[in-house]
């Protein structure tokens, strides 16, 4: 039975098992890289304005506007199995009832090692609102810079690159003067 069919069959079986072995080895090799770089996160200001946003509600609700500075060197996270880095800044707070809330206010995709030195003076990219539609009586919030390492093949890993030392309070909501 050494016809063309069985030969093709054998060669493709060998090829696919070698490929699987290689992929598993690459995926496992990622576990050896345990870089945990830290950066600096600084909240410059938080402002709260009552505003109307038609996408979510017809009524006015408090929206928070956050200005922040980030400096971080995340180059150690790039190894041979890193496809990209998903970097995000989140606000964490417990509302008046003690329920935990996490809101991403800014994110960035880093695809190259050269771009992994982060130096940002920015403001929130996404709407920051509270479920109860007001930030009154909401305790101060912590902000954290987190990242998600996405591999070419294998498991996704998460980590934290920075966190505010002290909680940042929400100011009183006030009408914007224009």
Q: Contact positions toward another protein, by CB under 8 A?
A: 23, 27, 55-56, 83-84, 86, 88, 90, 97-104, 109, 111, 126, 131, 146, 148, 150-156, 158
Q: Which is nearer to another protein, 14 or 109 (CB)?
A: 109
Task: Tell me phi and psi for residue 114, to 5 degrees.
Answer: -65, -25
CB of 107 to another protein, least distance (A): 8
- Asked if residues 58 and 164 have their Cβ atoms less than 8 Å apart, the reply is no
CB of 53 to another protein, least distance (A): 11
CB of 76 to another protein, least distance (A): 19
CB of 125 to another protein, least distance (A): 10
Q: Which is nearer to another protein, 111 or 174 (CB)?
A: 111
Beta-bridged to residue 71, according to DSSP, are 40, 119
Angle value at C-alpha 170, between 167 and 171, nearest 5 degrees: 135
102 Rama sector, left if φ>0, alpha if ψ -120 to 50, beta otherwise: beta
């Amino acid at each position: 039975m050494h016809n063309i069919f069985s030969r093709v069959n054998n060669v493709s079986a060998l090829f696919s098992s070698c490929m699987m072995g290689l992929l598993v080895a690459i995926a496992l090799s990622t576990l050896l890289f345990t870089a945990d770089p830290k950066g600096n996160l600084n909240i410059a200001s938080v402002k709260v304005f009552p505003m109307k946003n038609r996408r979510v509600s017809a009524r006015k609700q408090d929206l928070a506007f956050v200005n922040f500075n980030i400096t971080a060197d995340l180059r150690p996270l790039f190894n041979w199995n890193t496809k990209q880095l998903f970097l995000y800044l989140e606000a964490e707070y417990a509302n008046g009832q003690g329920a935990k809330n996490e809101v991403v206010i800014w994110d960035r995709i880093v695809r190259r090692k050269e771009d992994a030195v982060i130096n940002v003076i920015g403001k929130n990219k996404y709407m920051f609102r509270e479920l109860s539609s007001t930030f009154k009586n909401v305790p101060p919030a912590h902000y954290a810079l987190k990242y998600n390492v996405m591999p070419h093949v294998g498991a996704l890993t998460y980590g934290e690159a920075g966190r505010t030392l002290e909680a940042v309070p929400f100011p009183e909501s006030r009408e914007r003067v224009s």
